[in-house]
Structure 1
Amino acid sequence: MNFEKLEVWKRSARLSAELYKATADLRDYGFRDQLTRSGLSVPSNIAEGMTRTSTKEKIRFLDIARSSLAEARTQIYIGIDIGYLPSIEGKAWLEETHHISMMLTGLIKTIAVNE
């Protein structure tokens, strides 16, 4: 399956780009780096997983993507609380991470059943 056609990949790549743009001027390089790396890990692991040949490997990489998403979600919560991230956009990103997580769970279940 071509990962670029997956809605979950498209949405996670868009979220990653938004996080990069929102933190471009942030002086706390440690926070910015951690958030952008976890955000970037999501579409990257989806892409890597979907190009693997074995079901077990596909699921493993999708699970890593889901874990990275949880990490990014945690950092978004903290970023909002400490004033690094705008509240309105932050809440939208939190909602998006919830939807992406559900999509990843569904994709994992589909792959497990069909392959």
Structure 2
Amino acid sequence: MGRGHHQLDVWHDAISLVEAIYRFSARFPPDERFGLTAQLRRAAVSVPSNIAEGAARTSRRKEYLHFLSIARGSVSEVETQLIIAVRLGLAPADEALDDHVQRVFARLNALIKKLSLSDPSQV
């Protein structure tokens, strides 16, 4: 397990976010299993998956940034779906989970900025 993404704090945070999302969505009613539960879990899994896929393409910085951008979009999906779940009364608001989402988003932004500024000719 020595791949480049294993060294990234944002990837570890994103893996933890997936675990938290699975625990959070386990409270949803059974009739949501193929609805919001599946959609929320898919979006959450997409975050570390895209970070890993992008990191595997480090020879092409533009591709890496593209996958990080997709991961960031998936974090926004997760955030939106959590709001919907709470507003529909599927589960109570979870401030720690909301903070976790914001932390992953901020770390992705920082990584994207760092890669974009490190050698603009490679983007």
* TM, length-normalised to structure 2: 0.84
User: What's the counterpart of residue 11 of structure 2?
Assistant: 9
CA–CA distance in structure 2, aligned partners of residues 96 and 24 of structure 1: 18
User: Secondary structure of the equivalent of 1:84?
Assistant: coil
User: What's the counterpart of residue 31 of structure 1?
Assistant: 36
Letter paired with 1:106: A
CA–CA distance in structure 1, aligned partners of residues 98 and 26 of structure 2: 19
1:96 to partner: Cα distance? 1.4
Alignment of 1:48-67 (within 5 A): 48-52=53-57, 53-67=59-73
- For structure 2, the 5+ residue unaligned runs are none
* Larger CA Rg, structure 1 vs 2: 2
Q: Give deviations 1:59-113, integer Å, cap 9, x for gaps.
A: 00000000000000000111112222232xx222222111111111110111122
1:21 to 14, 20, 23: 23
1:25 to partner: Cα distance? 5.2
- Among all aligned residue pairs of Structure 1 and Structure 2, give the percentage whose two residues are the same amino acid: 35
1:85 to 82, 88, 91: 91
Structure 1 runs (4+) deviating above 3 angstroms are: none
* TM, length-normalised to structure 1: 0.90
Letter paired with 1:64: I
Is the Cα contact below 8 Å between 2:65 and 2:115 reproduced in 1?
yes
- For structure 1, the 5+ residue unaligned runs are none
Letter paired with 2:79: R
Using the TM superposition, name which of 102-111 and 19-28 deviates more. Answer: 19-28
Q: Give deviations 1:1-60, integer Å, cap 9, x for gaps.
A: 711121111111101111112223531021100000001100100011111120100000
Root-mean-square deviation over aligned CA pairs: 1.5
Letter paired with 1:20: Y
Is the Cα contact below 8 Å between 2:53 and 2:67 reproduced in 1?
yes
